[in-house]
Amino acid sequence: MDTVAAFFKWLKAAHGINLTIGYDAFDRARFLGGLLATVELSALCILFSVAIGLAGVWLQGARNKWLRGAVYWYIQFFRNTPPLVQLYFFYFAVGGVLPRIDGGPPIGNFAWAVITLSFFAGAFNVEIFRSGIEAVPRTMGEAAEALGLTRAKIFFLILLPLVFRICLPALNNNLVNLVKTTTLAYAIAVPELLYVAAQIWSDENNVREMMNVLLVTYVAIVGVLVHAMSRWERAMRLPGFGQ
Amino acid sequence: MSRPPSPRPFPVLLPVRPPAAIAARWGDCRTATILALASAPLLLMGEALAAPGEAGIVATLWKWTPVMASGFVLNLWISVLAMAIGTASGAVLGLMQVSLLAPVRGGSWLVTQFFRNAPWLVLLFYCILLMPFEIRLGGVVIPLPAWIKAVVGLALPVMANVAEVVRGAIQSIPTGQWDGAKALGLTRLQTMGLVILPQCLKRMLPPWMNVYAILTMATPLVSIVGVQEAMNLTRAALNAESRPDLLIPMYLYLLVWFFLYCFPIARATLWLERRYGVAG
């Protein structure tokens, strides 16, 4: 660890490249904390948005017209409005009028970021799952019905495993987008990667260095994710299905 | 008395329209009306709840509408400029990706992937914080206000996305078209300009419109870096009023503005996709 710190100190002395996260323990802890927050935020949002997508597509198949209409307008509203304004709406407007519990807001900024981004990505996931269900031949569901399976069993045992494999590419695309969208949490002061980087560059006055570190870090995170996902996609591809 | 038949145009001359699209459109209109009617009592309730001596919520929203509109126009202006720059550079980048020269192909692929994988907000910060506030070209000093830097910052991811659209469209053209053009003695440039790209335009239009919608919804990001657009002006209006009961209506109002602009674009994209028969 000392040699690493020595290297970064030399970098600053010799070339004026001031990477405090390399030699300053406090800044490094902050930066790694931000990285962890970004990963946590992403993981939670992915989990909830997939759950919302499944719930939405389930409700879309409901017999009740109003339920279907509600899901449709949920999707359209979240798809066609800016995610940043959604975040402000939930955090400042909805969070602002909620009654306070023990003097503090009942839902913190991290939780609001998870809620908003999950609903935002979830709206896209509903459509992705629906297109996947449409791609499964109808006869598959009919055959299952003929075998006496209930609607829930048809959905979870027959359709979902197929749908999942069919819409994995589109789903991955959306989830990668979601990871990029977690940067918006900066706007409501969630201490994720962008936020801590901004803190570091205002404390240490090394905007150029931190900006480059930030850009490279995000491109690396997303690049690794894209690579892993596309490998997974290839492994899960249904032979003879699609183009 | 029997009604006279409605004067319909001769059906054979009409382009074939998928009935589902029409039904969906009517469904939209009907549900929108119902939603509007349902929200009317809510608005009235808001009016009734407004404290005595304060203007009603609708009246307050109306008062701030010109201010928000001036900000929204800047949002749209930024989106149009960023789209123009992004489309022009993205088209070049996309064409470079199908170049016969391996270094050009590889380099442009790398640039595209880089700007596609970087979050929009980070690219925006990058441009705002690291671009100079003015450039000197010879003796001329060109000032770069924040909103122009923001346009460049938004144009970068648009460029990468448009490049992918262009590359995807070119590669989706059957190779037989290339072979046919070659058999006719066309050069590569002629093949691209006369045979391939004209066929691509149709396929590129829906995803290109999709990129534009995403860009428009990304324009409020420039409020974070201090440009006075609709989002910032809305927050300024809320600060000026400092009434907690305005928070939800005001933010909703702004969301509705964006919705009214982006929803028709999304519907048109879907309609074009179905019409041209290219999915996704």
Q: Which residues of A touch B119 (CB under 8 A)?
A: 180-183, 194, 218, 222
Judge contact between B72 and B253, C-beta under 8 A.
no
Q: Measure CA A153 to chain center.
A: 29
- Which segments of A182-206 does DSSP mark as H helices, in order? 193-204
B255–chain A Cβ distance below 8 A for any pair: yes
Domain count, chain A: 1
Supply the CATH number for residue A205's domain.
1.10.3720.10
**Is pLDDT at A243 greater than 60 in this prediction?**
no
Residue B279 DSSP symbol: -
What would the pLDDT profile of B31-72 be if each residue is shown by its tens digit? 666 666 666 656 666 555 555 566 788 888 888 889 999 999
Q: State the alpha helices, DSSP H only, in A16-108.
A: 20-23, 25-60, 65-79, 83-88, 95-97
Domain with residue B147: its CATH number is: 1.10.3720.10
What's the number of domains chain B is made of?
1
Neighbours of A121 (CB within 10 A): 25
pLDDT in tens, A138-183: 888 899 999 999 988 988 898 888 888 888 888 998 999 999 999 9
Instruction: Judge whether B218 is closer than 8 Å to chain A, CB to CB.
Output: yes
In angstroms, what separates the C-alpha of A96 from chain B's closest C-alpha? 7
Residues constituting chain A: 243
Q: What is the pLDDT of residues B160-190, one digit of tens each?
A: 999 999 999 999 899 999 999 999 999 999 9
A229 has a chain B CB within 8 A of its CB: no
Distance from CA of A188 to the nearest CA of B (A): 10
Shortest alpha-carbon distance between residue B261 and chain A (Å): 8
Does the CB of A174 have a partner CB in chain B at under 8 Å?
no
A85 at interface of B, judged by CB pairs closer than 8 A: yes
Q: Is residue A242 part of a domain?
A: no
pTM here is 0.83
Examine residue B195 and state whether it is found in any structural domain, yes or no.
Answer: yes
Classify residue B85: in a domain, yes or no.
yes
Sorted by sequence, the CB contacts under 8 Å of residue A129 that are 6+ apart come out as A53, A54, A56, A57, A163, A167
Residue A241 included in any domain? no
Of B67, B92, B23, B41, which Cα lies nearest the Cα of B270? B23
8 Å CB contact of B235 and A88? yes
Residue B224 in contact with residue A187, Cβ under 8 Å? yes
| Span A186-230, pLDDT tens digits | 999 899 999 999 999 888 888 888 899 999 999 999 989 889 988
Q: Is B80 on the interface with A (CB under 8 A)?
A: no
Q: Which domain holds residue A151?
A: 2-236
The answer to whether the beta carbons of residues B75 and B220 sit under 8 Å apart is: yes
CB B85 within 8 A of CB B152: yes
**What residue numbers bound the domain in which B174 lies?**
57-275
Say if the Cβ atoms of B122 and A183 lie within 8 Å.
yes
The tally of CA atoms less than 13 A away on the side-chain side of residue A224 is: 7
Residues 180-219 of A with CB under 8 A from B: 180-184, 186-187, 194, 198, 207-208, 211, 214-215, 218-219
B252–A contact, CB cutoff 8 A = yes
Residue A243 maps to a domain: no
User: Is residue A74 in a domain?
Assistant: yes
Answer whether residue B33 is part of any domain: no
Which residues lie below 8 Å from residue A149, measured CB to CB, with a gap of 6+? Answer: A157, A158
A127: in domain: yes
Residue B236 lies in a domain: yes
Tens-place pLDDT, residues B191-234: 999 999 999 988 899 999 999 999 999 999 999 888 888 999 99
